[in-house]
A and B are shown apart, each in its own frame.
Chain A
Amino acid sequence: MFEVLQYSFIQNALAAAILASIACGIIGVYVVVKKIVFISGGIAHASFGGVGLGYYLGVNPMLGVLPFSLVSALVMGTVSKKSKIPEDSAIGILWSLGMALGIIFVYLTPGYAPDLMTYLFGNILTVPYFDLYFMLALDIVIVGAVYLFYKEFLALCFDEEFTTVQGLPTDKLYLFLLCIIALTIVVLIKVVGIILVIALLTIPASLSRKFTHNLKQMMLISITFGTVISVTGIGLSYALDVPSGATIILVLSLVYGLVAFGMEMLENRRGSRSS
Chain B
Amino acid sequence: MEKVIELKDVWVRYGNQIILEAINLELKEPNGLLGIIGPNGGGKTTFLKVLLGLLKPYKGNVKLFGKPPEKSRELVGYVPQYRGFDFDFPISVWEVVLTGRMSHTGFLRKYREEDKKAAEEALKTVEMFQYRNRQIGQLSGGQRQRVFIARALATNPKLLLLDEPNSGLDPHMQDELYRLLDRLKQEMAIIMVTHDLSAVSVYVDKIACLNRTLHYHNSREIPVEDLEATYECPVELIAHGIPHRVLKNHEGNS
Contact = CB atoms under 8 A, between A and B. Distances in A.
A151 B110 contact: yes
B54 A167 contact: no
Nearest to B52: A165
B76 A165 contact: yes
A163 B95 CA distance: 13
B90 A152 contact: no
Contact of B102 (A148, A166, A218): A166
Contacts of A154: 91, 95, 99
Interface in B96-136: 96, 98-100, 102-103, 105, 107-108, 110-111, 135
Contacts of A209: 90
A62 to B, nearest CB: 30
Interface in B153-171: 155
The majority secondary structure among interface residues of chain B is mixed
Interface string A160-200: 01111111110000000000000000000000000000000
A163 B102 contact: yes
Chain A at the B interface: SS class: helix
A149 interface: yes
**Contact residues on A (Cβ < 8 Å of other chain), bracket:** 20 to 34
Of the listed residues A148, A149, A168, A213, the one surrounded by the most CB atoms of chain B closer than 10 A to its CB is: A213
B99 A159 contact: yes
A167 B74 contact: yes
Contacts of B110: 151
B107 A215 contact: no
A213 B98 CA distance: 17
A248 B10 CA distance: 58
A162 B90 contact: no
Interface of A: 33, 35, 148-149, 151-152, 154-155, 157-159, 161-169, 209, 212-215, 218
